[in-house]
A and B are shown apart, each in its own frame.
Chain A
Amino acid sequence: DAGVIQSPRHEVTEMGQEVTLRCKPISGHDYLFWYRQTMMRGLELLIYFNNNVPIDDSGMPEDRFSAKMPNASFSTLKIQPSEPRDSAVYFCASRPLPEGRQGYYGYTFGSGTRLTVV
């Protein structure tokens, strides 16, 4: 199992450009979460999906952010247009259902995408 795979690892873009972050969850995991990490705000949950359906997007900061999960093995987080304050590390995490299956209760995180908007 390759774990949760995120791409790219680093992204530098200019203000106003569109940015797309990608995530491949662990096969068989039903839930996918997108988090943002900054020094000021720590780890923030942006949105999560269950069986490819967005369940809670209340953490998405504004309309410039959108997320999709077209199938069980792929999700994107898009920022359009990007702004310097979007600079952060974006993490994707996944988990299986039901809880407790194979002793699983928490999440598995990807390595993150470090986004810098200049």
Chain B
Amino acid sequence: AQSVAQPEDQVNVAEGNPLTVKCTYSVSGNPYLFWYVQYPNRGLQFLLKYITGDNLVKGSYGFEAEFNKSQTSFHLKKPSALVSDSALYFCAVRDPRSNDYKLSFGAGTTVTVRA
């Protein structure tokens, strides 16, 4: 079974401050991990992924995430948040040994960046 948890429903930061959105996962083996962002009235957009290799992955819009196997975490980070980063963020996981290609999504974290 595969699952992710996003422990925070909401994250509020001031513009220019660092932004962190937390995600922990549960998968039997090595995971494929993803972050998606959803802006109001839009579909989910891919931000970044971890498949293998370097634990620090860089994605769109200045976001990055660090894969930590010992802590089973994949936190999303941005060094300096913008008001335009305000959105709903989803973490997702897939067990690559599974043949069904289903992603399991977290409940989402609403990020609000205040000016």
Contact = CB atoms under 8 A, between A and B. Distances in A.
Interface of A: 4, 31, 33, 42-43, 45, 48, 55-56, 91, 93, 95, 97, 99, 105-112, 114
A110 B49 CA distance: 19
Q: How large is the interface on B (under 10, 10 to 19, 20 to 34, 35 or more residues)?
A: 20 to 34
A43 B90 contact: yes
Contacts, number: 49
B27 to A, nearest CB: 14
Contacts of B92: 106
A33 B41 CA distance: 19
B87 interface: no
A3 to B, nearest CB: 9
A109 B43 contact: yes
A112 B36 CA distance: 15
Q: Chain B CB within 10 Å — which of A31, A56, A106, A109 has the most?
A: A106
Contacts of B63: none
The 3 A-B residue pairs with the shortest CB-CB distance in the complex, in nearest-first order: A109-B43, A109-B44, A111-B43
Contacts of B69: none
A105 B102 contact: no
A31 B103 CA distance: 12
A93 B101 CA distance: 12
B47 to A, nearest CB: 10
Given A42-B107, A105-B32, A106-B92, A91 B102 contact: no
B25 interface: no
B43 A107 contact: no
30 contacts: A4-B43, A31-B101, A42-B107, A42-B108, A45-B102, A48-B100, A48-B102, A56-B100, A56-B102, A91-B43, A91-B44, A95-B101, A99-B101, A105-B32, A105-B34, A105-B49, A105-B94, A106-B34, A106-B36, A106-B49, A106-B92, A106-B103, A107-B44, A107-B46, A108-B46, A109-B36, A109-B45, A110-B43, A111-B42, A112-B42
A45 to B, nearest CB: 6
Interface string B39-59: 001111110010100000000
Nearest to B42: A111
B89 interface: no
